[in-house]
Amino acid sequence: MQFCTLSSPVGELLLVGNESGLREVGFQNGTHPTRPQPDWQEDPRPFKKAVAQLRDYFAGRRHEFDLPLAPSGTEFQLKVWWTLRTIPYGETWSYGELARRIRKPKAARAVGAANGQNPIPIIIPCHRVIGANGSLTGFGGGLKIKRILLELEGGTPSLF
């Protein structure tokens, strides 16, 4: 596994991946920082495209990411995570809406749990999921970072 760090408006990010693609984006200043494992190698070269796209995103020049991703999760988690990628930039969905989109309308809590386990936040935009009443709910990087990301994308959350 290889990794590199990136300074961003939401603090330092740790990018982790291998030949399959990006596996993790960790908020180093968040509630659960990712720490490099002893067998990982620091090497920024495999992350050049990811770093460039994240910088463009934070500068407001990128609304979608085009990167090889290789998250590790259950079939259900992967379905939730791939569906998260369809939430348009600047929009938000409720957990219930996300559950309906994966054709599991009664699984809002399970969707919330899968959303919370997303290993590639920002790029897989789990920050775009909010409570049914419009409230900002859990986020691995913390609610302050979630608010910053939503404001960067256009401010006011909107529900379907």
Let me know if residue 70 belongs to a domain: no
pLDDT of 134: 82
146 with 90, same domain: the answer is yes
**Which CATH number characterizes residue 145's domain?**
1.10.10.10
pLDDT of 156: 53
33 with 83, same domain: the answer is no
18 with 47, same domain: the answer is yes
Contacts of 84 (CB under 8 A, 6+ apart): 98, 115, 118, 124, 125, 126, 128, 129
- State the residue range of the domain holding 22: 2-58
**Which CATH number characterizes residue 52's domain?**
3.30.160
pLDDT of 93: 93
Into how many domains does the chain fold?
A: 2
Q: Which of 4, 10, 126, 130 is catalytic?
A: 126
103 with 140, same domain: the answer is yes
pLDDT of 27: 93
pLDDT of 159: 44
pLDDT of 160: 39
pLDDT of 67: 97
pTM (predicted TM-score): 0.91
pLDDT tens track, the chain, 160 positions: 999 999 999 999 999 999 899 999 999 986 678 889 999 999 999 999 999 999 999 999 999 999 999 999 999 999 999 999 999 999 999 999 999 999 999 999 999 999 999 999 999 999 999 988 888 887 878 888 899 999 999 855 544 3
Q: Is 126 a catalytic residue?
A: yes
Let me know if residue 66 belongs to a domain: no
95 with 145, same domain: the answer is yes
Task: Name the one residue in this structure whose structure tokens are 């419009």.
Answer: 134
50 with 97, same domain: the answer is no
Distances (CA, A) of 123 to 25, 65, 102, 128, 133: 8, 6, 19, 11, 25
pLDDT of 133: 82
Contacts of 9 (CB under 8 A, 6+ apart): 58, 148, 152
